[in-house]
Structure 1
Amino acid sequence: MDQQHHGPGPGECAGLLGRGTECARIDEAIAAARAGESRVLVVWGPPGAGKSALLEYAEASMASMRVLRATGVESEMELPYATLHQLCSPLFERLRRLPAPQRDVLETVFGMQAGTRPDRFLVGLAVLSLLSDASEGRPLLCVVDDAQWMDLASAQVLGFVARRLLAESIVLLFGTRRPGPELLGLPELEVTGLGEADAHALLNSVTHARLDQHIRDRIVAESRGNPLALLELPRGLTVTRMAGGLGLLHAEALPGQIEQSFLNRIQELPEQTRLLLLIAAAEPVGDPDVVRRAGERLGVPLATALAGGTDGLLAIGGRVTFRHPLVRSAVYRSATEEDRRAVHLALAEVTDPLGAPDRRAWHLASAAAGPDEAVAAELERSADRAQARGGVAAAAAFLQRSATLTDDPLRRADRMLAAAEAGLQTGELDDVRRLLSAVSAGSLDGFQQGRAGVLRGHVAFASGGGSDAVVLLVDAAGRLQSADPRLSRETYLTAWGMAVSVADQDTLMAVSRAVRNLPSPSSPGPLDLLLDGFALLVTDGRAAAAPTLRRAAKVLIDIPAPDVLRWGWVATGVSSAVWDDEDMRAIYARQVQVVRDAGALRELPYHLSSLSYALSWAGDFEGAAAAIAESDTVATATGNPLPPYPALRLLSLQGRETETAELIAATLQGAAASGFGMGTSAAQWAAAVLYNGLGRYTEVTQAARSAARVSEPWISTWLLPELVEAATRSNEPDLARDALDRLVEATQPFSTDFAGGIEARTRALVADGTGADDLYREAVERLGRTRLRPELARAHLLYGEWLRRKRKRGEARNHLRRAYEMFESIGMEAFAERARRELLATGETVRKRKSEASSSDELTPQEKQIALLVRDGLSNPEVGARLFLSPRTVEWHLRKIFTKLSITSRRQLRDGLPGDESRSTPG
């Protein structure tokens, strides 16, 4: 509900006994909102502690401020975005003010239009923008009571919003029994029992019988000052029971005791009044018209049922409200099963099948006494609608209920599998395991067995069983082959990608051989080319796989968006496999844009990580850092953190020894614990690059020797040039030649300048005389035609070092000077120092450049992200959409950025921040 309040001012506490401290916290939040800042507070405590009274105090304190209110309802926990709809419905006229993607996503989840299934994090961003817009002009108070009964979709979105409020003049208050996972970490206000004196005062206000002081003391002590217990229990207990001390047992039993007290009062009401209370308890919205019409169907006219009153337990006005949620639960649980079914049937009959089809279906399910295919089918349609609106948890609940009402075994298995698939998307692995166990107890056809196997594979992978997951997926893919060949091949591709992460030779070979045994499609598409090329890469080597991989690389640049979302994370590796850096950047950038446009934020970090690799290869360290920062921001927001492989790559190139070494140690530890060998490869590649830059070659060979033999087709290959360089410097010629042979095998099938330049530079390390000179020249020429600036600079460095050893100091200086300047401009500090030392050895005077702290170094990481995006021309709403911030918070950060950089306009950011030289034409 949307209200304007003119009530008691701060500090008055609206007559709440003993709640001065709690009211002061709320007063501080309201004062902050009036000053232009946001505050979030999770008010929590046991039933009856007074949470709702404090929320009402906050509402009464918000003079001249806008108030939005929602209440979680236990029976609506399965309806997606039900609580969010309550909270935001007064703002629907403001939807047109939002950017089109955000407006569309809210209209979709609120059922105002049909649309593709939205990402819940995009929904969160849209709600953040909507609330921010509503707080323009006057502060906004958002109150969510009984938050423990929010539907999961609403809880996730509001938890997301709460963590991103900063400069929007919004107070967001949650009242809950205990903070759930979606609210953990937010500022909390625990509401405990009243102090002894206040508890006695409250008890005295409601007990008119003369009680001995020791009995009063015992009641206060055993209630632990719970206000609702002190107010309600005396009404439900006889004087004799109270005097005998029998009313209370222990604090843990209080909710049940209070509920029993309510139940005693309910049982004293007339039969028709009790039935009216049951109708109200089963109707989740509190719509008086629905309650009235359902009552009439059951022969309970409203006027008759209310004639004798409800003893204060129920109020019917603009909404139907209970004295306390425990009244609702007492009414519902005390009713007979027959009465509950009759009430739900009546409610289903009066619920609009067009306006509220899902609520109607849920009532019909609750009214069913046994299997009912018509109701099961209606629940299945509700699940489809929930999926379309992004309510995956609700879809799982609808499907599980649908399955229990399904008599046909195969159809029931289909619905249980669909429920498990929805549960997997929400991360409820225990639910998925339970459903799979139940499905396995029945007979399944081949397609159903395949679906179940895919689910088991994903559960195993999510639980850390990488190799087991691959085996399960390969078996499932085989079962799916005849029923759904495309799904079968997608499953094989997923298994192959997982096997690469595990980096186990036997596992990867088993998947690849299974793929090679598949029948060849008559018209292979991008998926087929990718899968066949990767399988050939493992079973027959790069030369055999090269033609297929090259074809795949060309068609993957513009695969449809749905394919990008389903298996694009594996496809990113094909351009790397064929040594095509141009396609690598193009594919990665395009996939980031596709995923971003689709609002698939859970998948976005994977693609941003790939893009950061491509930018690091090109020497665009600023761009790589921005991609990593955005990936981290999204991954944190979505609760889906990724391994820090891109950060390892960037830090090692920058030569930041302390940070790189710490991250290497953490990555190795994580890889050992998880069993994912790619983590070991990534850490050792970073170590090899770092220590080659520092000139500590023995440490390189120690790091790279084992990692270069890991069965993983990318990082283990990129390690080989590092190993050859270090082995030649460490006087280990056999090790160098062995690594070179394996590198040549990987580069020879491809004619790109990337492959040829790296190969020539590495060959030159083990060659001598004219042969080495020609190879270094070839490396400089070929890498100079690419945007691989760090690799070109390293070619100049190695050539210069070789020339110096050959006493060709003049030529050596030219290459070493070029290398030094490039390293400095790129930001490769360790390699720059190595080049400087070599220049000194040629007799050239080179002063070590002092690291000059620019004003941009004063910016926090988030401020740097915002500044870079604004520099590149993005508007505040566009920056907010990237970083999950409201436009007002972006503007707040910009003011701080301008102050730190001593500038006054967005245009000046182009001069205040360094540009990216790698975007210019290479030369």
Structure 2
Amino acid sequence: MSTEIRRSGHARLADQVRTGTGVACALVGSRAMGKTTALQHLADAAGDMQVLRLSGSPDETSQPFALLRQLPGVPDSDDPDEVRRGFWQFLDTRQPALLLVDDAHWADQESARVLAHVARRVRGRRLGVVLAAAAERPLHDELARLPRIELPPVDARSARDLLSDVDAPDHVLAEMSRRCDGNPLAIQEFADTLTPDQLAGRDPLPRQVLLGRRSLEVFSRPWARLPDRTRTWLLVLALGPDSFAVCLRAARSVGLRLDDLAPAEQAGVVHAADVPRWSSPLVRAAVRQSATRAATARVCAALAEAADETDWPVEHARYLAGALTDPDRAAAALAAATVPMAHAGQLLEAREAAVQAAVLTADRAERERYRIMAAELAWLAGYSDHALDLLEQAAPQRSPDARTSASIIRAVIHGFRESWTSGWRLLPTDTDLEPGSAEHALRLLVTVLTAGWENATTGSLQDTVARLRGTVEPRLEPVPGVVGALQRIAAGRSDPNPDQREALRSLAWWAKPSDALHPKAWPPPLLPVFIGEEDRYAQLFATLLRGEAVQAAPSTRALLLLKLATAQLALGHWDHAVANAEQGARLADELGHHALHSELLLTSAWIAAARGNEQACSGCVDAAARHAGRRSAGRQPPTMQWVRGLAALSSGRPAEAFDRLRALHQNDDSLHHTVLRRLSTVDLVEAAVQANRRAEAEVLVADFARWVDAGAARWAHLDLARCRALLDGDDAEQRHRQALDLSAETGRLMSSARAELQFGAWLRRRKRHQEAREHLRMAEEHFQRLGAETWRMRAHAELRATGETHNPRPQDDLTPQEHQIALLAAEGLSNRQIAERLSLSPRTVGYHLYKIFPKLDITSRTQLAALLGHPAR
């Protein structure tokens, strides 16, 4: 009903009056909620009918019939019956009449009784009585019995109608409505104070609403005439935390008593309880906005003393800043307040504090620093364009630390939005490095390694890290050995010692409280997998994602979701990994972080490829390719090459897999490429063996062995054992068993499943069926947990070939090679295409199909597709 009042209901109510249905209701809403406007819309909809307007006044509530005497036909008499008769006679016309009463809560008692009497008798008459009353004020008892229409707060849809000339997205309108408590007047005036970028959602909205002239007047009315001491009490509550105990201590320190608050409670402005309750948050805003600077500073000083820093870290810091009148001291206090704000997840409040500090200070170097702090906080909160604008305004010239921070934040923003190639170019990596303090030098070193991970040559990256190492003081390292550990990673080593591993983990989240202001890009998502610590990092990332600071920082959250998904991918927690990657991809897409979005899509694509779900894999890869800013001209991103090769291998096309993965191994110009080449070696070797490319496989294994033997993580030893087992030499059984032992150590479920499958198949081919079944059952169980159906079917076919008779199906009678050929034929491939994929002759494929059809009791490829669940092409 309330929505109808604001929209099409005006005409409907007017029609009820015209047709003689009659209308009587009370329109109730808080201050400036649009009650008067709603009455005007009703009057506009009335057309040619008679419209009578009355308005209550607080100065006339004790004067009998003061409200009704606003009508010219009402007699000037104190006799209620005479006034009632005169009023009815005035209304008794042949023309429909609409009586609109504004501020009916101020109606005098006698007029209220007459209005109630008339309202009870509108049914069957061409008469409408509509009252408008403030929710904060009680109506006369008899008027209170009328049907009520509550005017709700303005939502985003209503705000769009209200601000018809403003082109703002829904989420901005919804946030404006929330900040203004859904009040139409406040929303309109708030919109007038905003910049086009704020209205478009590119810049954040102010954290506190600035009331316009009219709304400030409206929301100051409830307390404007209260005693001075009461108004000071209200300022304490308006500025204070949500704790009456703290506010009471502050009020006493400025000489106020509890009795001084009573007039405000009697007036309904505020209710003092454990958590003070205001009649409207806009009344609270009006109290804050109307206070003088001196009064605000005095109350903030009292609140800073009353609010314990341990219990109220954010509020305490803010009050200290507000208590200072010296601009430079206030600026420094505001800058200090940003740290607890950021830790508490109040990033936009912290950004405003940093911006305000930059405005207050007269020190140019400090102004640069404060503006860059504001840019970092804006970035963390998800406002990339605004962060870049703030960096342009900062234009740091005086402070090396400010220049370093500006370079880092620009690199991170462009790294997420475009590519790390863009980010790398923005970093000061030349010979004239001037990183400033040792702390900023360490930040620069970590960012250089992060940005250069995917695109800088290994040699140039090592040189830059070596040059920066001399600028970092060991005593400022969060954990001793950090820089040495970074140098080891830059050299492409996967075997840092225990102390170095601990040092690297310390960088995953900066150790100092002030570090909450800075973007966190380290570590590159694949680093935990490369050094074999995905389990520890997964726990760390999951813990960080639950923190207030990260929950409020969408840019950081999207990146952490990628890192967590990558770690879960390696562990085999694929359902969780896909869920996190999809959540991160949605967030990155909303933020415009296209390069990060591409990485998250490729994470999902890798899992789909490993599962053999080529349709899902292709969808993710195609979407990622549209944002693939990381590739050089004519080249696919290396991760995409691995995904496509793995998809071919999982789907039984080893020749195609070999060609795709071999292209990945032919280039090794970045640390990222080196890591991918090492991680995918076992896939390439398996594809080479299945495609009868043994000579190439032996060369690959020899190269991999040299790298592993020089020092590598345990996963690399597992992959090497699997590679050597695949070559099927004299020591094949020993290598298979070694791989199984190592798989138990690494905890990587997919590697374990494939090791079990390889060994089981090896045993089955040697007629050691009883031994083979144990490993093949384990492989099938692992693949089932992973959702890797093509691999599970492969394990099941091997298991059936050993004579296993559990849950027989027609296709279980096929040999592993027959099963593979049947799957490809079911997909619609011709004999020649199948032969090319499996490195067989078309004649051999035809022979196998000749044997497959009778085993499955079918006579056509169409029946084969239906049986195996593949629609024929």
Normalised by the size of structure 1, how large is the TM-score? 0.51
* 2:499 alignment partner, one of 533, 550, 555: 555
1:374 aligns with 2:374: no
Cα deviation for residue 660 of structure 1 reads 4.1
Q: Which amino acid aligns with 2:341?
A: A
CA distance in 1, matches of 2:3, 2:455: 65
Q: Is the Cα–Cα contact under 8 Å of residues 707 and 716 in structure 1 kept in the other structure? A: yes
Q: Is the Cα–Cα contact under 8 Å of residues 542 and 564 in structure 2 kept in the other structure? A: no
CA distance in 1, matches of 2:444, 2:345: 24
What is the match of residue 826 of structure 1? 782
Give the RMSD, CA atoms, in angstroms.
6.4
Mean CA deviation greater in 643-652 or 602-611: 602-611
1:723 aligns with 2:723: no
Q: Which amino acid aligns with 1:405?
A: L
Q: Which amino acid aligns with 1:504?
A: N
1:489 aligns with 2:442: yes
Q: Which amino acid aligns with 1:528?
A: V
Name the SS of the counterpart of 1:285 in structure 2. helix
What is the match of residue 372 of structure 2? 417
Distance change in 2, residues 1:743/1:350 (3 Å): closer
CA distance in 1, matches of 2:779, 2:234: 71
* 2:455 alignment partner, one of 497, 504, 519: 504
What is the match of residue 153 of structure 2? none
Cα deviation for residue 476 of structure 1 reads 10
1:694 aligns with 2:651: yes
Please tell me whether Structure 1 or Structure 2 has the larger radius of gyration of its CA atoms. Answer: 2
| Deviation sequence 1:824-875 (CA, Å, 0-9, x none) | 12124323433555677x7857677669xxxxxxxxxxxxxxxxxxxxxxxx
* 1:255 alignment partner, one of 169, 185, 192: 185
1:526 aligns with 2:484: no
Within 5 Å, give how 1:583-662 maps onto structure 2. 584=533, 587-588=536-537, 591=540, 595=544, 621=572, 623-626=573-576, 629=579, 643=600, 647-662=604-619
CA distance in 2, matches of 1:323, 1:754: 63
Name the SS of the counterpart of 2:679 in structure 1. helix
Distance change in 2, residues 1:267/1:375 (3 Å): closer
What is the match of residue 37 of structure 1? none
What is the match of residue 570 of structure 1? 523
1:396 aligns with 2:351: yes
| Deviation sequence 1:306-345 (CA, Å, 0-9, x none) | 9xx9xx9995775999987778888998x8xxx8445545
Name the SS of the counterpart of 1:513 in structure 2. helix
Q: Is the Cα–Cα contact under 8 Å of residues 720 and 739 in structure 1 kept in the other structure? A: yes
1:354 aligns with 2:309: no
Runs (5+) with no aligned partner, structure 2: 10-26, 57-66, 73-90, 103-129, 138-160, 165-183, 190-211, 511-519, 592-596, 811-873
1:426 aligns with 2:376: no
* 1:447 alignment partner, one of 401, 417, 441: 401
| Deviation sequence 1:172-201 (CA, Å, 0-9, x none) | xxxx99xxxxxxxxxxxxx99998489879
Cα deviation for residue 783 of structure 1 reads 0.3
Cα deviation for residue 737 of structure 1 reads 6.3
CA distance in 1, matches of 2:450, 2:279: 56
Q: Which amino acid aligns with 1:830?
A: T
Q: Is the Cα–Cα contact under 8 Å of residues 561 and 581 in structure 2 kept in the other structure? A: yes
What is the match of residue 862 of structure 2? none
Distance change in 2, residues 1:376/1:265 (3 Å): closer
Q: Is the Cα–Cα contact under 8 Å of residues 776 and 795 in structure 1 kept in the other structure? A: no
CA distance in 2, matches of 1:705, 1:597: 41
1:758 aligns with 2:702: no
| Deviation sequence 1:525-554 (CA, Å, 0-9, x none) | 4322321112222xxxxxxx5xxx53x242
| Deviation sequence 1:633-673 (CA, Å, 0-9, x none) | 79989999871555545444444444444444444445459
What is the match of residue 421 of structure 2? 467
* 2:708 alignment partner, one of 725, 743, 747: 747
Mean CA deviation greater in 396-405 or 263-272: 263-272
Q: Is the Cα–Cα contact under 8 Å of residues 202 and 231 in structure 1 kept in the other structure? A: no
| Deviation sequence 1:537-572 (CA, Å, 0-9, x none) | 2xxxxxxx5xxx53x242245449754423795288
Within 5 Å, give how 1:768-807 maps onto structure 2. 772-786=728-742, 787=744, 790-791=750-751, 794=754
Cα deviation for residue 514 of structure 1 reads 0.9
CA distance in 2, matches of 1:670, 1:260: 47
Mean CA deviation greater in 630-639 or 732-741: 630-639
Q: Which amino acid aligns with 1:833?
A: M
Q: Which amino acid aligns with 2:523?
A: V
CA distance in 2, matches of 1:326, 1:348: 20
Q: Which amino acid aligns with 1:823?
A: A
Name the SS of the counterpart of 2:306 in structure 1. coil
| Deviation sequence 1:378-431 (CA, Å, 0-9, x none) | 434443443454433323322322222212222333333333333333333344
CA distance in 2, matches of 1:675, 1:782: 40
Q: Is the Cα–Cα contact under 8 Å of residues 335 and 357 in structure 2 kept in the other structure? A: yes
CA distance in 2, matches of 1:803, 1:690: 26
CA distance in 2, matches of 1:831, 1:419: 51
Q: Is the Cα–Cα contact under 8 Å of residues 612 and 625 in structure 1 kept in the other structure? A: no
Distance change in 2, residues 1:492/1:849 (3 Å): farther
| Deviation sequence 1:133-164 (CA, Å, 0-9, x none) | xxxxxxxxxxxxx9xxxxxxxxxxxxxxxxxx
CA distance in 2, matches of 1:445, 1:515: 22
What is the match of residue 838 of structure 2? none
Distance change in 2, residues 1:693/1:467 (3 Å): closer
| Deviation sequence 1:734-775 (CA, Å, 0-9, x none) | 76566556544543423777434533543565x6xxxx4225
Within 5 Å, give how 1:266-277 maps onto structure 2. none
Distance change in 2, residues 1:576/1:277 (3 Å): closer
CA distance in 1, matches of 2:222, 2:563: 67
Cα deviation for residue 700 of structure 1 reads 1.7
CA distance in 2, matches of 1:672, 1:218: 64
Q: Which amino acid aligns with 1:392?
A: L
Runs (5+) with no aligned partner, structure 1: 1-12, 23-48, 54-145, 147-175, 178-190, 233-249, 538-544, 852-923
Q: Is the Cα–Cα contact under 8 Å of residues 420 and 455 in structure 2 kept in the other structure? A: no
Mean CA deviation greater in 561-570 or 510-519: 561-570
* Number of positions where the alignment pairs a residue of Structure 1 with one of Structure 2: 614
Q: Which amino acid aligns with 1:464?
A: E
Q: Which amino acid aligns with 2:646?
A: V
1:517 aligns with 2:490: no
Cα deviation for residue 785 of structure 1 reads 1.8
CA distance in 1, matches of 2:567, 2:225: 72
Q: Which amino acid aligns with 1:774?
A: D
CA distance in 2, matches of 1:821, 1:275: 83
Within 5 Å, give how 1:87-166 maps onto structure 2. none
Q: Is the Cα–Cα contact under 8 Å of residues 836 and 846 in structure 1 kept in the other structure? A: no
Q: Is the Cα–Cα contact under 8 Å of residues 348 and 361 in structure 1 kept in the other structure? A: no
Within 5 Å, give how 1:810-889 maps onto structure 2. 810=767, 817=773, 820-827=776-783, 828-837=788-797
Q: Which amino acid aligns with 1:469?
A: G
Q: Is the Cα–Cα contact under 8 Å of residues 691 and 697 in structure 1 kept in the other structure? A: yes
Name the SS of the counterpart of 1:643 in structure 2. helix
Name the SS of the counterpart of 1:457 in structure 2. helix
Distance change in 2, residues 1:393/1:512 (3 Å): same
Mean CA deviation greater in 662-671 or 431-440: 662-671
